[in-house]
Amino acid sequence: MTLLLDTSTLRRQDRSEAFFAAMMSASVPSRVEHEDPQGDVYARMDFWQLGAPDLFRNEGSGIRLVRTPKHVRIGAPERLALAVQVIGTGMFSQAGVDQRVHTGELMLVDLTAPYEFAWRGQGASQAFQIDYRDLGLSVETVRAAAQRLPRSPLYELVLHHLTVLATVSDSLHDTRAAVMLGSATTQLVRALLTSAAEDDNDQHLAMADVLFARITWYARQHLADPDLGPARIAAHHNISLRYLYKLFAKHQLSFEQWLISERLERARRDLAAPANRNRSIAAIAAQWGFLDPGHFARRFRRAHGMTPQEWRELHRGPVHRT
């Protein structure tokens, strides 16, 4: 997590300017109006980078954000935001539609177009922001979904996911898992929007992508299990082996090769870790499903261009003698 702003550390007369600067750094250009600009303006803004997408939380006194056509013409990344109203009630207007967003409800903001958003008193909103190019949906699909989010069978799932996302992201700061979490969240958002837009073909594709993300997440959590294989994974997700292989083929992957690559990566990291200096290569290989040391060595060399022993020596570092 990155703390963008905490007005409790600033002089009262400096808070409005600091709020504007922090808001512009985290989102797109807009006009900021405070409910009581001469009173006690207060806010806290937190930011999490999850690979390409990000998560932004703003909590504070009453505000009104206005993104005008002029702001749109200034230019900004083509993004959208799916936000949860965490505290208070938000008033959101876009494309001629007014929406009252109560605590615990979702709001979809097309950041490529003008909009207004406000709350009175204390409020908080938490937004998952993503580029259109990474979402893989047209602007038309997104705008069609905007007013129909609660109709989607995925609404409650995505709402809960985004609500707890900040807490989970805190424990994954600057890790590979944080990037994976951002990718998985993107797939969930894509499935929500396509299902809400009622495009049967896109909905089918999006659900397949969500299932693929669930399967790869599950497999990565159980890579050390000796019985992890296609039959177990297919049974756990209530799909056939044929469909499991089809999902991976859709991503130009072989399931078996993907699983071996993931296990090789875990072994590679363990071999380089100082904490594993006294563990044998065979023990590390066995932990990640390679029971034959010779087979492991051949696979490792084919993947990384050196033997496991050479890799370990490369990362062993100097030995300090006393």
Residues 86 and 57: beta-carbon distance below 8 Å:
yes
For residue 201, name the pLDDT band (cuts at 50, 70, 90): low
Contact 145, 108 (CB under 8 A): yes
**In terms of C-beta density within 10 A (0-12 exposed, 13-18 middle, 19 or more buried), how is residue 133 classed?**
exposed
Lookup result for tokens 């700061």: 173
The pLDDT of residue 13 is above 90: no
Encoded tokens for 63: 């505000």
| Helices of type H across 7-146 | 15-26, 69-74, 132-135, 139-146
- Give yes or no for residue 200 having a pLDDT over 60: no
Q: What would the DSSP string read from start to end of 255-267? A: HHHHHHHHHHHHH
36 by Cβ neighbours in 10 Å (0-12 / 13-18 / 19+) ranks as exposed
Q: Is 32 exposed, middle or buried (0-12, 13-18, 19+ CB in 10 A)?
A: middle
239-258 average pLDDT score: 89
Alpha-carbon torsion (47, 50, 51, 52), positive or negative: negative
Measuring CA to CA, which residue among 144, 65, 68 is closest to residue 113?
Answer: 68
DSSP H or E segment with residue 214: helix 200-221
Is residue 320's pLDDT more than 70? no
Mapped onto helix, strand or coil, the DSSP state of residue 273 is coil
Q: Give the fold, CATH level 3, of 264-314.
A: Arc Repressor Mutant, subunit A (1.10.10)
Give the sign of the dihedral formed by CA 164, CA 167, CA 171, CA 172: positive
Place of tokens 């985290």: 26
Tell me which DSSP letter residue 14 carries.
G
Q: How far apart are the first and last CA of the chain?
A: 41
Mean pLDDT, residues 45-67 taken together: 92
Say which DSSP state 314 is in. Answer: H
Residue 237 scores a pLDDT above 90: no
User: In the structure, what pLDDT confidence band is assigned to residue 206 with cuts at 50, 70 and 90?
Assistant: low
Residue 312 CA to residue 167 CA, distance in Å, equals 35
Query: What pLDDT score was predicted for residue 144?
Result: 82
Q: Which carries the bigger pLDDT value, residue 199 or residue 258?
A: 258
pLDDT digits (tens, 9 = 90+) for 274-315: 888 888 999 998 988 888 888 889 989 888 888 999 888 887
- 20-54 pLDDT tens trace: 888 888 888 888 999 887 778 899 999 999 988 99
Quote the pTM value. 0.61
Distance CA 28, CA 63 (A): 16
Radius of gyration, CA atoms only, the chain: 24
Domain boundaries, the chain: 2-168, 264-314
- Banded pLDDT at 89 (limits 50, 70, 90): very high
**What is residue 322's predicted lDDT score, i.e. its pLDDT?**
41
Contact at 8 Å (CB) between 233 and 225? no
Give the separation between CA 49 and CA 160, rounded to whole angstroms: 19
Residue 150 C-beta-side C-alpha neighbours within 13 Å = 8
Q: Is the pLDDT of residue 319 over 50?
A: no
Third-level CATH fold of 2-168: Jelly Rolls (2.60.120)
C-alpha span between 48 and 261 (Å, rounded): 29
pLDDT at position 1: 78
Instruction: Supply 57's token pair.
Output: 């939380």
Q: How confident is the model at residue 90 (pLDDT cuts 50, 70, 90)?
A: very high
- Percentage of the chain with pLDDT > 70? 94
Q: What is the DSSP letter of 10?
A: S
Distance CA 312, CA 270 (A): 9
